[in-house]
Amino acid sequence: MDATVLVLLRHGETAHTAQRRFSGSGGADPALSEVGLAQAARAARAPVLDTVQAVVSSPLARCRQTAQAAADRLGLPVAVADGLRETAFGAWEGLTFAEARSRHQAEMDAWFASPSAAPPGGESFDDVTARVARIRDDLLAAHRGRTILLVSHVTPVKTLLRLALGAPHEAVFRMDLDPASLSAVAYYADGNASVRFLNSTAHLA
């Protein structure tokens, strides 16, 4: 049987993205900016999407908008999976990194030091990894041998890549993932996975 391929598309830019604010699933649900809408349109035309047979999105607006652009081009519906939503950042929602550190330095230090630590009122990396792994397994079981477009966020996409590589938790801090970038992982019947590419932005040029 052919590999099952997950093409991973980070959503386009929002106002929070441009301002480098924490934007998770527990606060505001910003839509794409004008720049983000243009990025989504360009991503929809990326040649790697030509073989996509299903489109699955995070429930958050920025992802659904990005996914819809691709789905319209491909003539496919958009399925929504809660497991693909971004981390809930709790008290840090809407804050810049500097603002969060100034108000919650001890909690942020703990968050960087351990995947089991969470922002106040938010999710830990362990929490996110567990739900991302569940939705990955569900999708692989439902779409064996197919190519699926997943439209999600920084943490879930990096988590899928990290798990495919068998890399430690710290790898999430070692990857760049630009707005509307594409990555892909192939999963094989013997249980092996292979990262085909990461953070491709050629389609945005």
| CATH number, domain containing residue 74 | 3.40.50.1240
**Residue numbering of the annotated binding site for substrate:** 62
Confidence of residue 2 (pLDDT cuts 50, 70, 90): confident
Q: For residue 190, count other CB atoms closer than 10 A to its CB.
A: 5
Judge whether residue 110 has pLDDT over 90: yes
Q: Specify whether 123 is catalytic.
A: no
| pLDDT on residue 79 | 98
For the annotated binding site, the residues are 62
Distance (Å, rounded) from C-alpha 141 to C-alpha 127? 22
- In this prediction, residue 151 carries a pLDDT of 98
Catalytically annotated residue among 13, 16, 34, 86? 86
- What is the total count of domains within the chain? 1
158: containing domain: 4-204
Residue 193, pLDDT score = 97
Is 11 labeled as catalytic in the residue annotation?
yes
Q: Read off the tokens for 43.
A: 């991503």
Cα angle 136, 139, 143; round to 5: 140
| Tokens at 35, concatenated | 């720049």
